[in-house]
Amino acid sequence: MASHRRPKQTSRTRVTVLTATAAAAVALSAQAAQAAPAKQSVKSVKAKVDALYEQAEQATEKLNSATEKQQRLQQQVEVIQDEVAREQGELNDLQDDLGALASAQYRSGGIDPTLQLFLSADPDSYLDKASTLEALSTRQAEGLRQIAEKKRSLDQRKAEAAGKLSELGRTRAELGKKKKQVQGRLAEAQRLLNSLTAAQRAAVAAADAPAAGGSEHVDLGNATPASGRAAAALAAAETRINMPYVFSHSGPTSFDCSGLTMWAYAQADVRLPRTSQDQANAGTRLSMSQLQPGDLVLFYGDLHHIGLYAGNGMVLHAPHSGAVVRYESINNMPFQFGVRV
């Protein structure tokens, strides 16, 4: 018969020792993991944050484009609606005139013209009246023609208004999506930064700072702007140095990249489009060697970033969320071409 002995229990002391040993091993491995690439971790986080900022700026320019389209459509809808109201009023007036004419004819009695002539005591007077009736009839026909034409025009304008309103609705929906994309990228970047210690966040900020070239004591050389408006735009932008980057803002105290260039040139009485891609077509394209202070400079293959050439290889721009308007070396970003407005 098999024996039913109880297994021997491990002593409490042994369990305690084993637990302590395991805990120490886990702690040591965690410390080793943390200690190993603390520097690399900061570098990795910065690279991810920079990528997210770039994606946010790409989305911001699309947001700006959708916003501009919305504003344009809104203006078009308002113009068409005003025209519809005016044409409806004109149609109502025409219909009222025709109704008054029909009422007058009805009150005169619908007697056959030949019988009216036979019964008339004054045939000459009747003939005058008959010519008046013929003129009234012609006027009635013309009134009907005008009403039909006005109604066709009104129907076309109403259909156009309906189409623009539908397009406006789609644009507003697109606008909401683009805004969420920007906010999502920025929130993700902030989460990454929040995962770092205060010292690591300071290291990320320090790694970004040298690229700026500082806001003061920057050597811009002695090149002269190509025009008075370029000089005025650059001078205006320089008054915005150290003001914050805020997506979809175009001044006067916060900016995104194309918002800064648009605002700066507006101070020189030049109206630029809202987005960097549209501003890229606002003048004559230039190579890097042709740049003069105040020229626009475009970066990245999709032209989602823009700034002002400041001279001596430096750009004045609004870089990205969390940064301020500042000077930076033109070589820190993939230059595409310049534009002389």
Q: Judge whether residue 293 has pLDDT over 70.
A: yes
Please tell me which residue in 4, 217, 304, 305 is annotated as part of the active site: 305
Examine residue 30 and state whether it is found in any structural domain, yes or no: no
Q: At what angle are helices 257-266 and 228-238 packed, to 10 degrees?
A: 120
**What are the two backbone dihedrals, phi and then psi, of residue 303, each rounded to the nearest 5 degrees?**
60, 40
Can you spell out the DSSP letters for 250-298? BSSS-B-HHHHHHHHHHTTT----SSHHHHTTSSEEE-GGG--TT-EEE
List pLDDT tens digits, range 294-335.
999 999 999 999 999 999 999 999 999 889 999 999 999 999
CA–CA–CA angle 338, 253, 320 (5° rounding):
50
Q: Judge whether residue 22 has pLDDT over 80.
A: no
CATH of the domain at 160: 1.10.287
pTM as predicted: 0.62
140 and 223 belong to one structural domain: no
Examine residue 80 and state whether it is found in any structural domain, yes or no: yes
5: left (phi over 0), alpha (psi -120 to 50) or beta: beta
255 and 293 belong to one structural domain: yes
Q: Judge whether residue 13 has pLDDT over 60.
A: no
**What are the two backbone dihedrals, phi and then psi, of residue 195, each rounded to the nearest 5 degrees?**
-75, -10
Examine residue 5 and state whether it is found in any structural domain, yes or no: no
4 tagged catalytic = no
Higher pLDDT, 163 or 250: 250
108 and 221 belong to one structural domain: no
Examine residue 207 and state whether it is found in any structural domain, yes or no: no
97 and 148 belong to one structural domain: yes
pLDDT confidence tier of residue 265, bands split at 50, 70 and 90 = very high
Nearest one of 224, 189, 196 to 321, comparing CA atoms: 189
Q: Where are the alpha helices (DSSP H) in the chain?
A: 12-35, 38-107, 113-119, 123-194, 198-208, 228-238, 257-266, 276-279
Helix (H) or strand (E) holding 340: strand 335-340
Residue 250: predicted pLDDT: 95
Burial status of residue 179 (CB atoms within 10 A of its CB: 0-12, 13-18, 19 or more): middle
Pick the last residue of a domain from 163, 194, 225.
Answer: 194
Q: Judge whether residue 192 has pLDDT over 80.
A: yes
Please tell me which residue in 249, 304, 317, 320 is annotated as part of the active site: 317
Residue 27: predicted pLDDT: 43
Residue 151: predicted pLDDT: 79
186 and 229 belong to one structural domain: no
Higher pLDDT, 38 or 134: 134
Examine residue 6 and state whether it is found in any structural domain, yes or no: no
Percent of the chain with pLDDT over 90: 35
305 tagged catalytic = yes
Number of domains the chain contains: 2
Tokens 């021997």 sit on residue: 8
Across the chain, mean pLDDT equals 79
* Domain housing 163: 43-194
Higher pLDDT, 43 or 266: 266
Pick the last residue of a domain from 136, 162, 194.
Answer: 194
73 and 189 belong to one structural domain: yes
Residue 107: predicted pLDDT: 57
94 and 188 belong to one structural domain: yes
Higher pLDDT, 103 or 85: 85
Per mean pLDDT, which range of 8-17, 176-185, 312-321 is the poorest? Answer: 8-17
Please tell me which residue in 249, 257, 304, 320 is annotated as part of the active site: 257
List pLDDT tens digits, range 200-235.
888 888 777 655 445 557 899 999 999 999 999 999
188 and 221 belong to one structural domain: no
Measure CA of the first residue to CA of the last residue in the chain; give whole Å.
103
249 tagged catalytic = no
The arithmetic mean of pLDDT across residues 239-263, rounded, is 95
Q: Judge whether residue 17 has pLDDT over 60.
A: no
